[in-house]
Structure 1
């Protein structure tokens, strides 16, 4: 049976380091790390995520600002708010919660955030820095950064000689995850919904990162015995056993059967998810340290 990675415990350890770093920045510069979170509309899941992020920012000792805007907010107004935070020296990180209402162009908004304040790591400047192996001056997308910390907790910092597969090619997770694994010297296959013989390719991997958005798609037959399985998926399925209309969260991996084959595996919930918010806090203290002329910690 696989060792199950406790993402909550791993995230809590990261947060303790973030708190100490935030206190150091405040002590040495008189400035608290500042995080501004903007949410547009009334999507319940988005509001739950934003509330968790704002709570954690306050717990870390940040200057925390939250803007809750109505669904009918115009592109001009949203761009103006981002611009105001770009110019505000007390704000070191800006996060616009996605998805945005359909009438808003999310790419325009993301690319308008200053790269040094782009704590989601989605600006093309930060994506480009990661692509060329510059891990020292950019900001890395939070979910793959957190997933990579979990990989490193199993295999160490140097993945030389290990084969990895990333299933999913999104700009948010798949592509940056592949770059992080490559930068750590793994041999990486980037797979996706149109990859042929996907199960056979996955069976060759020592490290499997599932980020394709299909509930329990990766089953035990896809897993090489002893492999490390990192499940980034979050899918909601009906759970009639819990009562009428009830649902449950599952990942992209069929956990119970894959856990019998894998060496190490992350659960859903409680695996990569907690790491995502922790790495948002990490990016904020990194951005704050750089902005105040301090050397940021290595995470």
Structure 2
């Protein structure tokens, strides 16, 4: 068993970006500028946004954090996105999800200019990804592909099982793994809440991507020896022994599954850091394309 260490891989990506940004700065060129919108004070969202702002600092990017109270009306939020769309100094825009229930998340995502859609959620970005065209790829699936590439994992011809069909992770992950690329060229099966033979399918998986949001759902009896396990889940579980009052658990029962695998991501420290590294790469690319 070997660890797919997202912290190490993400640091390598950020170090490379830092050099690229320094070179752009020395040449008098524009440096990347990421704008993040945070609505409300959800604890997890606060943590994620803070990590993204910190990553900008580490790589030499500029960042702007726009905060709104949870009772903001939809129109005001859309107007702010329009302002950022029209600000030539802003290269990338992300709106931290989830949003309050009274705001239509799809309408908000669709309002972001495709040229600044560094989260890769806009329909134009998704359409290009499906066609295999250059575009902004959703950060978590992109981060997973970068992680596989960093560790030179051979995926060609392998059977990949993706558990979860969200537009943020599951579906784009299946498209990327099945694409004619490296990593890629997998045969992909998507599983979800209505899959009747999930355990049987997982036991066929050379690669399992668990992205369903249920702590320790994937157990040892669902994994064949030598599998590659990508754990996307991260859930706060109450733990009175911790100062924080909780611990983080993934969708995979790591302690019992790890010994059966060739490679496995930890939680935390696996996919999470790669998601942020991928966002940085998207933002850098937006800066190049927009300037």
**Same fold by TM-score, threshold 0.5 exceeded?**
yes
Report TM bin, short chain: over 0.9
Find the counterpart in structure 2 of residue 141 from structure 1: 138
- 1:4, distance to aligned residue in structure 2 (A): 1.4
**1:115-158: per-residue Cα shift (whole Å, max 9, x none)?**
11011110011111111111x2x1000011111122234454x6
2-structure distance, mates of 1:80, 1:29: 32
**1:20-70: per-residue Cα shift (whole Å, max 9, x none)?**
222233344521111101111111221121111112112211121111111
2-structure distance, mates of 1:260, 1:231: 15
Find the counterpart in structure 2 of residue 12 from structure 1: 11
* 2:209 maps to 1:213: no
Find the counterpart in structure 2 of residue 238 from structure 1: 238
2-structure distance, mates of 1:245, 1:208: 31
CA RMSD of aligned residues (A): 1.6
Equivalent position SS for 1:127: helix
Find the counterpart in structure 1 of residue 175 from structure 2: 179
**1:66-89: per-residue Cα shift (whole Å, max 9, x none)?**
111112211111111110111111
Find the counterpart in structure 2 of residue 75 from structure 1: 74
176 and 67 in structure 1: CA distance in 2 versus 1, 3 angstrom threshold: same
* 2:45 maps to 1:51: no
1-structure distance, mates of 2:122, 2:21: 24
Find the counterpart in structure 2 of residue 165 from structure 1: 161
Find the counterpart in structure 2 of residue 196 from structure 1: 196
**1:248-283: per-residue Cα shift (whole Å, max 9, x none)?**
111000001100111110010111011111111111
- 1:275-286 alignment to 2 at 5 Å? 275-286=274-285
2-structure distance, mates of 1:267, 1:193: 24
Find the counterpart in structure 1 of residue 224 from structure 2: 224
2-structure distance, mates of 1:245, 1:92: 36
22 and 221 in structure 1: CA distance in 2 versus 1, 3 angstrom threshold: same
2-structure distance, mates of 1:154, 1:276: 16
Unpaired stretches in structure 1, ≥5 consecutive residues: 293-299
Unpaired stretches in structure 2, ≥5 consecutive residues: none
1-structure distance, mates of 2:213, 2:28: 43
- Contact kept, 8 Å, 2:4 with 2:151, in 1: the verdict is no
34 and 245 in structure 1: CA distance in 2 versus 1, 3 angstrom threshold: closer
243 and 178 in structure 1: CA distance in 2 versus 1, 3 angstrom threshold: closer
1-structure distance, mates of 2:107, 2:26: 36
- Contact kept, 8 Å, 1:33 with 1:62, in 2: the verdict is yes
- Contact kept, 8 Å, 1:26 with 1:33, in 2: the verdict is no
- Contact kept, 8 Å, 1:35 with 1:91, in 2: the verdict is yes
1-structure distance, mates of 2:244, 2:57: 35
Find the counterpart in structure 1 of residue 288 from structure 2: 289
**1:174-211: per-residue Cα shift (whole Å, max 9, x none)?**
01111110112111101111111101101111111000
- Aligned residue pairs total 287
- 1:243, distance to aligned residue in structure 2 (A): 5.7
Find the counterpart in structure 1 of residue 35 from structure 2: 36
2-structure distance, mates of 1:10, 1:217: 26
Find the counterpart in structure 1 of residue 89 from structure 2: 90
Find the counterpart in structure 2 of residue 295 from structure 1: none
TM-score for both structures, normalised by structure 1:
0.92
Q: Which moved more, 1:158-167 or 1:188-197?
A: 158-167
- Contact kept, 8 Å, 2:9 with 2:150, in 1: the verdict is no
